[in-house]
């Protein structure tokens, strides 16, 4: 295969990893590459990750399965980058259910009425204390956020109107419904309602495992394949894969294939392999394949770097080493005098350090740089050491090392 063709295939694969649902009108260039190299990509993904790629006219959908279904920080986010709340996830599921019954066009008002009707008739939601009312502006605002998310996914196409007007009670919004794309959005094989005998989830962890489960005929080969797929998924999805987080068989396998399979994953995706004693990371030098970046511009990004520097000074080889939220907040407050001139106004106000510390630690947790213990304290993980501030080494002009440095 020519270098140009290999580069096209790499770009197509990166596009799918960055956005597993590519649609015409938004991702035309990437979609064209995926269609051109679809067969090769489909075979490669099945072999290495067990993920299925569906390609049709105007749509490419990569059905990803998580390597770790309990990993945090990969949820839906609103148009401001804020993670969805539990209530918004409920509204998203209800909206998808309502849109299954919708005509080719609908309005936000009609969708809202259907969502409320479904919620009122759901015994499980009532038992969970979830109630919806269009009289409450917060409910309308949450529904508008969910609808904007579906618009971003191109499942809904805004024809006329604005969600803000609906929230304020000043108007409605007209949408065109893409029923085909809506049907392709969910990627579970077993509907959540079938994961428990009565249709209601009682164990959240078991529900996540059930949603991510795959049916295989148990054999030595399928067990090996499942292990290989699970690790490849984690390498492509997780910021860092620590050997300590794997069981003995997984750690042994990953150690054995570092020079072959892992390097192929890096080569085919254009990522950079960082292989350390503690584990392996595939990082993207172009920052296209991550939704959480560090370093990042802005006040929050700067403060997160300062917190990472603080954590890097904690001895990670000491089991008791940890910091509390109050410790981190105090560090941010202490940094305000020297760095506050670079921060936005709200971050310079006394009392803001608690929220800033929580946001920074959450970002570092998503990047696998810190672990939140059951007692609420935070333990730094080995990869945070890359953010340590090390004084530059200098050499006297006449020293023998000076000539070597030049």
Question: Bridge-partner residues for 272, per DSSP?
Answer: 283
pLDDT digits (tens, 9 = 90+) for 270-288: 999 999 989 999 999 888 8
**What mean pLDDT comes out for the span 141-165?**
94
Question: Cis ω on the peptide bond leading into residue 17 (within 30° of 0)?
Answer: no
Token code pair at residue 322 = 């940890």
Distance, in Å, from the CA atom of 151 to the CA atom of 108, rounded to the nearest integer, reads 12
Q: What percent of the chain has a predicted confidence (pLDDT) above 70?
A: 89
Strand extents, DSSP E, 263-405 = 272-275, 279-283, 370-372, 378-380
Give CA–CA dist 346/321, Å, rounded.
31
As a whole number of angstroms, the distance between CA 74 and CA 238 comes to 10
For residue 7, which phi and psi values (nearest 5 degrees)? Answer: -70, -40
- Taking only the tens place, the pLDDT of each residue in 319-333 is 568 899 999 999 999
More confident call, 121 vs 404: 121
Which residues, in sequence order, are CB contacts of 210 under 8 Å at separation 6+? 190, 192, 195
Band of the pLDDT at 405, cuts 50, 70, 90?
Answer: very low
Q: Which long-range contacts (CB under 8 A, 24 or more apart) does 40-46 make?
A: 40/9, 41/9, 41/12, 41/13, 41/16, 44/13, 44/268
pLDDT at 403 over 50: no
Which of 12-26, 60-74, 335-349 shows the lowest mean pLDDT across its residues?
60-74
pLDDT, tens digit, for every residue of 295-309?
A: 788 999 999 999 999
Pair 150, 137: CB distance under 8 Å: no
Q: Is the pLDDT of residue 398 over 70?
A: no
Poorest-confidence range of 49-53, 227-231, 319-323?
Answer: 319-323
pTM over 0.75: yes
Q: Quick one: fold of 3-63? A: Arc Repressor Mutant, subunit A (1.10.10)
What confidence score (pLDDT) does residue 296 get?
A: 84
Structure tokens at 334: 């202490």
At the topology level, CATH places domain 299-387 in Arc Repressor Mutant, subunit A (1.10.10)
Q: Which has the closest alpha carbon to 192: 180, 178, 171, 206?
A: 206
DSSP state of 270: T
Return the pLDDT at 348: 93
pLDDT per residue over 155-214, tens digit each? 999 999 999 999 998 999 999 999 999 989 887 777 666 776 554 556 777 777 777 777
Mean of all residue pLDDT scores within the chain: 87
| Token reading at 16 | 């799918």
Instruction: Say if CB 157 and CB 175 are below 8 A apart.
Output: yes
CATH top class, domain 86-184: mainly alpha
Per-residue confidence (pLDDT) for residue 402, from 0 to 100: 45
When pLDDT is averaged across residues 86-114 and rounded to a whole number, the result is: 93
Q: By C-alpha distance, which of 322, 326, 327 is closest to 370?
A: 322
């Amino acid at each position: 295969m020519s270098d140009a063709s290999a580069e096209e295939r790499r770009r197509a694969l990166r596009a799918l990893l960055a956005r597993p649902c590519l649609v015409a009108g938004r991702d035309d260039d990437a979609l064209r590459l995926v269609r051109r190299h679809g067969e090769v990509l489909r075979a490669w993904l099945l072999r290495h990750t067990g993920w299925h790629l569906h390609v049709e006219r105007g749509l490419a959908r990569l059905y990803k399965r998580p390597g770790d279904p309990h990993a945090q920080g990969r949820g839906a986010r609103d148009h401001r980058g804020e993670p969805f709340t539990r209530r918004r996830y409920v509204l998203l599921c209800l909206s998808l259910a309502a849109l299954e019954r919708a005509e080719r066009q609908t309005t936000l008002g009609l969708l809202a009425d259907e969502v409320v009707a479904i919620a009122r008739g759901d015994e499980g939601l009532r038992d969970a204390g979830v109630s919806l009312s269009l009289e409450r502006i917060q409910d309308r605002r949450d529904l508008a956020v969910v609808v904007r998310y579906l618009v971003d996914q191109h499942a809904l196409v805004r024809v006329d109107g604005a969600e803000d007007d609906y929230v304020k009670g000043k108007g409605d919004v007209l949408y065109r419904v893409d029923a085909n794309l809506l049907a392709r959005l969910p990627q579970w094989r077993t509907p959540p309602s079938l994961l428990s005998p009565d249709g209601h989830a009682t164990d959240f962890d078991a529900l996540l495992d059930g949603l991510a489960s795959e049916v295989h005929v148990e054999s030595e080969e399928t067990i090996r394949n499942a292990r290989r797929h699970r690790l490849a998924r984690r390498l492509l999805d997780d910021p860092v894969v620590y050997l300590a987080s794997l069981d003995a068989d997984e750690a042994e396998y990953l150690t054995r294939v570092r020079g072959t399979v892992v390097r192929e994953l890096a080569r085919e995706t254009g990522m950079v392999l960082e292989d350390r004693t503690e584990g392996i990371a595939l990082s993207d030098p172009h920052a296209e394949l991550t939704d959480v970046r560090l370093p990042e511009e802005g006040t929050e990004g700067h403060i997160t770097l300062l917190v990472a520097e603080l954590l890097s000074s904690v001895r990670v080889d000491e089991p008791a080493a940890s910091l509390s939220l109050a410790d981190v907040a105090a560090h941010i407050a202490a940094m305000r005098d020297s760095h506050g001139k670079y921060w936005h106004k709200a971050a310079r106000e006394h009392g803001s350090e608690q929220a800033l510390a929580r946001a920074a630690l959450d970002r570092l947790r998503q990047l696998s740089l810190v672990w939140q213990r059951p007692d609420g304290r935070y333990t730094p993980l080995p990869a945070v050491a890359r953010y340590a501030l090390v004084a530059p080494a200098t050499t006297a002009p006449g020293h023998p090392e000076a000539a070597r440095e030049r």
